[in-house]
Amino acid sequence: DAGVTQSPTHLIKTRGQHVTLRCSPISGHKSVSWYQQVLGQGPQFIFQYYEKEERGRGNFPDRFSARQFPNYSSELNVNALLLGDSALYLCASNVTPLGNEQYFGPGTRLTVT
């Protein structure tokens, strides 16, 4: 079975631009979470979605938004990119929001110049 997939793998953007990152959960998983991992730090929770509804939001500015589609895939959007947004963005899927384990995808490495 395929695991969590994310695209693109790497991305380079300029300050002020917009970016969209994509995630497809494991088949049968209905919950998707997004995390940001800055180099040298632990991941930080951004959003969790379940059945297309936002279930949780971390301490991130409104420039960050996300949505989940009927097929449970998800997009993370970041507007007005800052240098500090450079990070590895990880998507995790779970059967339900309160399931015992999240399964992480390979991540998207975003570099903002």
Residue 99 engages another protein in binding (rule: CB under 8 A): yes
Binding another protein (rule: CB under 8 A), the pick from 31, 34, 74, 110 is 31
Residue 97 engages another protein in binding (rule: CB under 8 A): yes
Residue 61 engages another protein in binding (rule: CB under 8 A): no
The tokens of 19 are what?
């970016």
DSSP label at 41? S
Nearest to 30 by CA among 82, 95, 78: 95
φ and ψ at residue 85, rounded to 5 degrees: -80, -5
Tell me the C-alpha distance between 51 and 62, whole Å. Answer: 22
Tell me the closest approach of the beta carbon of residue 78 to another protein, in angstroms. 19
CB-wise, 56 or 61, nearer to another protein?
Answer: 56
- Name the residue type at position 61: P
Residues forming the site for another protein (CB under 8 A): 31, 33, 35, 41-45, 48, 50, 55-56, 58, 90, 94, 97-107, 109
